[in-house]
Structure 1
Amino acid sequence: MAKPEKLTEKLGTANAIVVTNKFGDSLKGLLDALGVHRQFPMRVGDRIQVYKTVATIDGAPVEKGDIIPLSEVKVEPAEAKELTYQKARKAVAFEDVQKYGIERAITMTDAALIKEVQKKIKADIFTNIKAAQKTAEGVGLQGALAQGWGNVQTIFEDDGAEVVAFVNPLDVADYLGNASVTMQKEFGLNYLTNFLGADVAIVTPQVEKGVAYVTAVENLIFGYADLQNGEAAREFNLITDETGIVGIRREQTGDRLTSETTVVASGVLTAERLDGIVKVTIKAAVTA
């Protein structure tokens, strides 16, 4: 009897494809949720230039009718964000595959490895967001996000900016005591849509309690190395998802009898203008 044409036999590879797609779909879901349309394939080592404003004010008193001295405002390059590879590798021994089975020994540990890679990419996001140059304050989470929304609209006045906010879950929990909302999740991050004036609110403990960071979606840039079409990916037999952001290589070693998984990912989400990020302090309401 003839063997079926499309029989799945290479179970290790098939599983790697599933894990890769989950990671790529998750990251793509986050970018879609944020509304980030400025996504650029780059070469590793390339940099995204970030800018900050520096104002020097002449503080001398001005007499009535005198000429007001000019103050200097400059837009200067801040620390550039360099695109790098996030790499991780693990090995599972033959004995453990035999003892625990493929699902526990390989699939579950692959997922844990990818989760650690995710953490590094997410850490870069919040490092940049916390470099906000503008400050504001508002009473309660609703008042704070309203102030953030207003400041962002002022900064990006020609754009009719869509607003993204980053808030601590404890501040959201305080607000949810009096409201009902539906939380969604992508890339290991909880988020809310159309929340208190923000088109998207990312809820994360990476942001300290009592503070919210707000910026325009148009201010966010995502740069990545395309692992799907590169020569190196083909040479090392990387399995990639359709985004090309993450690649996985799985192989068996004969001399050690281990199954090894290597994960390679690249991606940096950054704000182009630090003066386009507003750090808003959440003040407590004054009680009688």
Structure 2
Amino acid sequence: MGKYKLDLQLFAAPDGTTGQGNLEVKAREIDFVTSFGKNIQALLDVLGIARMIRKENGSALKTKEVAGELKSGDIGEGEEIPYSQYKVTEKVFDTIKIEKHRKGVSLEAIAEKGYDVAVNDTDEEFKSDLQNKVSDKFYKQLKAGSLTGSETTWQMAIAMSIGKVKDKFKKMKRTATGVAVWVNTLDVYKYLGAADITLQTAFGFEYMKNFLGADVVFISSEIPEGVVIATPLNNIVAYYVDPGDSEFVKAGLSYTTDPTTGFIGFHAQGTYERAISDMFAIMGLRLFCEYLDAIAYTSVGSRDTQTLGELHLTAVEGTNAGDTAITMDEQLMSMKNAFKYKINASAATTVTYGMDVKNWSKWDGVSEITAAKGSHVTIVECDRNYKAVRSGDVVSAAKE
């Protein structure tokens, strides 16, 4: 009997065949983006935001301020009717752009703990951290609200915060569709004592509806104790950069997105060179308040209890010798505020909330600053009375 050579290639799966592993990876990607989309959609529903607004990558986000007044309508017969003039001033507050994130799980971790624990559980943690990225930026803007004040009790601080933002919108000839309030977790429990409360959660935000006169009250440890923040619901907008942009796909960067929301792109793959299960997420998401002066920041007791905000600064060599160029990662400045700076040879200048910086040097937020290399440049954002509301320090990188 003759012998036949067995050609194993005849039994190999054709190139491009979708196997079980591919299906499981795709299912994991779909589950990740779908659950992420549902989470943020739940928050949008609470805030009354019908849809997110698509922005191009790198788009400027601008805050607005309306100035003007309604002229009297008591006009005599034949007299000219005066114009009621309103001016909308816009200022670039920040930019929205695609952010790239990556998480890896080693082959050893999967072998030791099993796939479900090593991969699925860490996917959930990854998703939570991505949600926190969005909420952290939103909290920073809320804390930048310029409608500041102080009340003697926590309940009065809530009531006045709601009243102030409604009054502000009324003066802007807008009607608040509702008011959202943010308070510290411990303040709520101090007020309620042993009473049971039921909290709901959306996109990592814990909240109650129809509480103490507010349409929705968010409870968070991100808000300092003794502080109440409020803004009209229709002052909040939501922006996103499409992670499924066809230009990315052309470059070979194809991410799974939720066809319903499309707020985040996710991709998982095995990196054989390192024996790691890699997962990648890209997103450009922002919750954003259009009017900073329609955000009430009310402290309980002394106004000195308000927290000094932080400016994130970076210094690089300037154009000319002795100069350093300073940039801010995020511009958290109200249009009514200004920048001041002070140079100290050996250490950062101490700044406290409400500190008078009238005699400090003025800075426009762009111009290079002359400062000896290695010295400290402390920059303060101050209100119209030259009281410090935010500060940051950076070491000069002056060109030699």
Matched, 1:240 2:253: no
Deviation for aligned residue 1:27: 1.3
Aligned residue for 1:97? Answer: 110
Contact preservation (8 Å) 2:54, 2:242? yes
Residues 151-184 of structure 1, C-alpha deviations (whole Å, 9 max, x = no match): 1111112414310111110111111217543211
RMSD: 2.5
SS at match of 2:114: helix
Match of 1:214 among 218, 226, 230: 230
Shift of 1:75: 5.7
Give the letter aligned to residue 142 of structure 1.
Answer: Q
Give the counterpart letter for 2:291 in structure 1. R
Q: Structure 2 regions of 5+ residues with no counterpart?
A: 1-18, 69-85, 303-400
Q: Please tell me the residue identity of whatever aligns with 1:194.
A: N
Contact map agreement 2:180 2:231 (CA 8 A) in 1: yes
Contact 2:205-2:218 within 8 A present in 1 as well: yes
Residue of structure 2 in register with 1:60 after alignment: none
TM-score (norm. length: structure 2): 0.60
Could you tell me the percent identity over the aligned residues?
Answer: 29
Q: Name the structure 2 match of 1:264.
A: 282
Q: Is this contact kept in 2: 1:224–1:267, CA < 8 A?
A: yes
Q: Is the 8 A contact 2:157 2:228 kept in 1?
A: yes
Which residue, 188, 191, 196 being the options, matches 1:175? 191
1:278 aligns with 2:296: yes
Given the two structures, how large is their TM-score scaled by the length of structure 1?
0.82
How many equivalent residue pairs? Answer: 261
Structure with the bigger percentage of helix: 1
SS at match of 2:297: strand
Q: Which has the higher contact order (CA 8 A, sep 6+)?
A: 1
Q: How far does the alpha carbon of each residue in 1:191-216 deviate from its partner, in whole angstroms, 9 at most, with x for none?
A: 11111111111111111110111111
Q: Structure 1 unaligned segments of length 5 or more: list them.
A: 1-6, 56-72
Q: Following the alignment from structure 1 to structure 2, what is the Cα–Cα distance between the partners of residues 54 and 208?
A: 31
State the distance in 1 between where 2:51 and 2:110 align.
Answer: 43
Does structure 1 residue 113 correspond to structure 2 residue 126? Answer: yes
Moved more, 194-203 or 16-25: 16-25
Q: Which whole-Å CA distance do the structure 2 matches of 1:256 and 1:180 have between them?
A: 51
* Match of residue 131 from structure 1: 144
Contact 2:176-2:233 at 8 Å conserved across structures: no
Question: Do the aligned partners of 2:244 and 2:254 also contact (CA within 8 Å) in 1?
Answer: no
User: Which stretch shifts more, 10-19 or 224-233?
Assistant: 224-233
Match of 1:35 among 34, 45, 48: 48
- In 1: Cα distance, 2:208 partner to 2:229 partner: 15
In the superposition, relative to structure 1, how do residues 224 and 131 fare at CA in structure 2: closer, same or farther (>3 Å)?
A: same
Q: Which AA in structure 1 matches 2:28?
A: N
Alignment-derived partner of residue 226 in structure 1: 242
CA distance in 1, matches of 2:269, 2:281: 12
Take 2:197 and 2:122, find their aligned partners in 1: how far apart are those partners? 34
